[in-house]
Amino acid sequence: MKKLIRIVSVITLTSGLLNAGCAQQSTQKERDEMDRRKLSQQVDDEVMVGRQIAARLLGHFGAYESSPQALAYVNLVGQVIASQSGRPELQFRFGILNVDAINAYACPGGFIFVTKGLLKTVKSEAELAAALAHEVAHVNEKHMYNEIAPEKEMTSSETLVRLMSRGKSDIGGNLATMVDGGMKMLLEKGLGPEREQAGDRAGVLYAAAAGYDPLALRDLVKRMEGEAHTPNIGKTHPPFGERIAQLDKFIADNGFSKSTKAGSAVLNKRFNEALRSGKL
């Protein structure tokens, strides 16, 4: 009898442990699914805001549409750089703005623009890649989005309700304010010296990882320092001399040297065909 009681007790204990284990496993799966859906909605929000800012930016400057070849080329180089960003959940898009001022802009969610003036200024594919890498870095680090996003801490129950309602965005009435804030940062306020220098550093790393000359961004910034069509950059970025000094230090600290690949015949040929064929 005692033996039977012990057997029943063991079976009951084992069953309880198994049930507890299954419950814990189920709870972990639910948490993982909640995290996945939360991340998915955050990305959707970021892309939605970025798309609206990109539309406003295009409306402000106008799109450069005279050279489909140049647009295809910018996207080709941009996608190579974007593959190094570490954000595969984003579909990066690149466009050209019809303005002679030398500049580039990054909107949340992967919408990136270069100006016609910048394309006339770059001297190689490596320099174009470096400029795009700087902007990709802003997107990757959410430099603008984190600044304009509404500060709202949700409780776990609020998060659950939101996710169970098929992940509806809580941006809602904040969208217009966020878009206005994004445009102000792009055209007037800037992202701030720390974020711009972080963009420079990450830009060097992304370009180098893609096989481009790691010194190309430094060369481009140095050339821009002497150009007349850079008033907006002076308003929204750190002084050129400061950027160059920081880039020199970063390049030296990381042991980068000029890449021979940057001058390869293939890269030079497609650069010249796309941007130096007289259509810009």
CA distance between the termini of the chain? 96
pLDDT at 143: 96
Nearest to 138 by CA among 204, 212, 196, 80: 196
Nearest to 230 by CA among 117, 102, 137: 102
- SS3 call for 184: helix
Phi, psi of 107 (to 5 degrees): -105, 150
Which residue stretches of the chain have pLDDT < 50?
A: 4, 8, 10, 32, 35, 153-167
pLDDT at 163: 43
CA-angle at 91, arms to 99 and 233, nearest 5°: 30
Nearest to 216 by CA among 208, 143, 33: 208
pLDDT at 227: 73
- Residue 140 CB-half CA count within 13 A: 23
pLDDT at 154: 45
pLDDT at 3: 54
CA-angle at 171, arms to 151 and 59, nearest 5°: 110
In whole angstroms, give the CA distance from residue 161 to residue 159.
Answer: 6
